[in-house]
């Protein structure tokens, strides 16, 4: 019992560290808005979204999922939270070097920390199983993060496998930070709240989680094999996120007393729905070979709505709502 109590306090302490890391990361990110990492304005915007993910989104999301056990998972959580700030700094430094071995080596720090994040998620999943669904959703987000890390190293190395352009590789990094990592965690947080109240997660919640988690491989396959797969994946992700938005408005908001958190979640729901309309239009344009939205336009509309409107507002709201309480697994 004393060991369990000690782990509870330890998890609370490191969750607090992750929140402070996110706050400091935001200050660093704002200061970096005056720096230049590339000659292309459109690419610079995407770089800044990636920096925001590493400095702010990842630690803020990690602060919401502290775990307690007696078999090493709490140790993995401590390791991830401790490693994240330095890995982010090293990886951002890579963007100030020419693409190549040095830049790729620096960015590999993020691949290492994201791999430990995935190991943390895997140990949670193996120890607990796929139920409850809300925890499995969080685990899926943790498991997707190394995909972003791999493509980030590839991007900084300057190679283009499968004849992908640099922009597509960079956008893959963005997608797996936000839609791959953060979205399932946000869905899991909604499920945690509902599981602890009168409104229990139902089949619609399971369908939502499956849609969000299954969409990412389809979107990736669409880039490599067929635009139709990408369209199906985008529609699936859109269905999942719109369902999450409706669930948030109908079930989550009435259960929250904080006005600030409610306003943030409402803004997140509206931003998510708008961003996914744009994503569907873009995916359709690729299939139909009709120019509706260009990639630079998507970056400054869909990308910013998803990063700041949906993800940042959602995580900030859940950070306000949730007391850092260790949950036995």
Residue range 135-142: average pLDDT?
93
Higher pLDDT, 205 or 147: 147
pLDDT(324) > 60: no
Summary mean pLDDT of the chain: 84
| Phi, psi for residue 105 in degrees, rounded to 5 | -65, -45
Residue 150 confidence (pLDDT): 93
pLDDT(2) > 80: no
User: In the CATH scheme, what is the code of domain 2-328?
Assistant: 1.20.210.10
Residues counted in the chain: 329
Burial 206-229, CB ≥16 within 10 A → b, else e: eebbbbbbebbebbbebbeeebeb
Higher pLDDT, 158 or 115: 115
Alpha helices in 162-312 (DSSP H): 166-175, 183-195, 203-224, 227-247, 259-288, 295-298, 304
Residue 201 confidence (pLDDT): 58
Burial 102-140, CB ≥16 within 10 A → b, else e: ebbebbbbbbebbebbbbbbebbbeebeeeebbbbbbbb
pTM above 0.85, yes or no: yes
Token couple for 30: 């704002």
Residue range 255-260: average pLDDT?
87
Q: Which residues pair with 67 in a beta bridge?
A: 327
Cα 140 to Cα 144: distance, rounded to the nearest angstrom: 6
Residue 325 confidence (pLDDT): 39
Residue range 272-295: average pLDDT?
79
Residue 186 confidence (pLDDT): 95
pLDDT(175) > 60: yes
DSSP conformational letter for 58: H
Token couple for 220: 């990736």
pLDDT tens for each residue of 179-200: 899 999 999 999 988 876 555 5
pLDDT tens for each residue of 38-71: 888 888 989 999 999 999 999 999 999 875 553 5
Cα distances from 149 to residues 27, 95, 116, 298, in angstroms, run 23, 14, 11, 22
Residue 140 confidence (pLDDT): 93
**Domain assignments of the chain as residue spans, ordered by start:** 2-328
């Amino acid at each position: 019992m004393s060991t369990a109590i000690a782990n509870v306090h330890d998890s609370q302490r490191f969750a607090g560290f992750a929140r402070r890391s996110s706050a400091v990361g935001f200050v660093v990110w704002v200061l970096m808005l005056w720096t230049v990492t590339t000659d292309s304005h459109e690419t610079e915007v995407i770089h800044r979204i990636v920096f925001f993910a590493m400095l702010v989104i990842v630690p803020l999301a990690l602060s919401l999922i502290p775990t307690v056990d007696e078999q090493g998972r709490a140790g993995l959580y401590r390791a991830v939270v401790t490693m994240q700030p330095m890995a982010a700094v090293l990886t951002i430094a890579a963007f100030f070097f020419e693409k190549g071995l040095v830049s790729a080596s620096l960015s590999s720090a993020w691949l290492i920390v994201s791999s430990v994040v995935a190991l943390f998620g895997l140990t949670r999943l193996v120890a607990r199983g796929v139920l409850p669904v809300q925890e499995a959703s969080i685990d899926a987000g943790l498991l997707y993060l190394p995909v972003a890390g791999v493509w980030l190293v590839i991007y900084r190395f300057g190679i283009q496998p499968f004849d992908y352009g640099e922009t597509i590789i960079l956008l893959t990094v963005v997608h797996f930070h936000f839609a791959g990592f953060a979205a399932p965690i946000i869905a899991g947080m909604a499920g945690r709240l509902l599981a602890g109240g009168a409104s229990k997660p139902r089949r619609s919640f399971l369908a939502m989680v499956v849609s969000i988690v299954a969409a990412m491989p389809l979107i990736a396959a669409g880039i490599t094999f067929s635009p139709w797969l990408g369209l199906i994946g985008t529609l699936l992700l859109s269905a999942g996120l719109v369902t999450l938005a409706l669930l948030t408005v109908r079930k989550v908001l009435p259960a929250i007393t904080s006005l600030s958190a409610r306003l943030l979640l409402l803004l997140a729901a509206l931003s998510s729905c708008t961003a996914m309309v744009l994503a569907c239009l873009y995916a359709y344009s690729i299939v139909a070979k009709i120019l509706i939205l260009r990639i630079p336009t998507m970056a400054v509309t869909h990308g910013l709505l998803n990063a700041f409107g949906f993800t940042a507002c959602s995580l900030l709201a859940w950070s306000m709502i949730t007391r850092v309480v260790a949950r036995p697994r």
